[in-house]
Amino acid sequence: MNINGVVNLERRTSLKRQLTSLTVALLFLALLASTGTVMAQGPISPTQFDITGFLQEATLTTAGDAHSGGTLKVNGHVVIVPRETIVIFPANALTWEEVFAQAPAPYTGVATGMARADVPTPLTTYEVEAVGNRVGDTYIAGLIYISQQGLNNGAGFINFIDYSIGEMRVGGVIGDSTTGNRLRINDPTGKFGRV
């Protein structure tokens, strides 16, 4: 290697050291600037929730307002029921206000007759499933299902229909009237089954 090659090699090595030092200094300044800056936290994005449990309490915001919302309490969580919310029952769908308006006496209009806090206390418990979004510490329902035993369900093929008494058997031996679960449709109007 000649003298020019050695000089060029030294210049390149010196230039690399300078660039490395400059890069480290810039990274240090960027790190220092980022730790010295205080930034406000942005809005909290909603997260989903799905709570199932006994209906502990239920309130109505405005009695007589068919579009009214309110609150419900399940597993200790207070859930906001927005206006226009439809509550799904096993055989019906009602607005939140109709849940109160169609409650049996002595609850009619003032309570649901299903919440543990209702006076008098209902004879049985009612299961509620509330699905919605949690914004901060506030639970806001999107879907509400209420039943007595929603998790106690089954499915199967209809294996026998007895038209004379309005019953069917589900999940048994095909054609056998003594096997499977007995099912009778409760239809006081006679529209979908026997009266």
- 151 vs 127: CA distance, rounded Å: 9
Q: Is the pLDDT of residue 1 over 60?
A: no
Are 57 and 97 found together in one domain? yes
Compare 142 and 6 and report the one with higher pLDDT: 142
Q: What is the pLDDT of residue 96?
A: 96
**51 and 143 co-located in one domain:** yes
Residue 117: C-alpha distances to residues 73, 84, 108, 113, 124 (Å): 10, 24, 15, 9, 12
CB 188 within 8 A of CB 195: yes
Number of domains composing the chain: 3
Question: Looking at per-residue confidence, does 162 or 156 come out higher?
Answer: 162
- 138-147 vs 77-81, strand pairing mode: parallel
Question: Based on the domain organization, do 53 and 10 belong to the same domain?
Answer: no
- 54 and 137 inside one domain: yes
> Is the Cβ–Cβ distance between 170 and 181 less than 8 Å?
yes
Residue 133 parent element (H or E)? strand 127-135
- Name the band, by pLDDT with cuts 50, 70 and 90, for residue 7: very low
User: Is the model more confident about 20 or about 114?
Assistant: 114
Segment (H or E) for 167: strand 167-170
- Tokens 């294996």 belong to 159
Rounded Cα distance, 44 and 98, in Å: 33
| Better-predicted residue by pLDDT, 189 or 36 | 189
**Which tens digits make up the pLDDT trace of 81-138?**
999 999 999 889 999 999 999 999 999 999 999 999 999 999 999 999 999 999 988 9
**Angstrom distance (rounded) from CA 169 to CA 166:** 11
Contact between 102 and 94 (Cβ < 8 Å): yes
User: Which residue range(s) make up the domain with 190?
Assistant: 154-195
The per-residue pLDDT for range 30-69, each reduced to its tens digit, is 655 655 555 555 566 788 999 999 999 999 999 889 999 9
Tell whether 89 and 160 lie within a shared domain. no
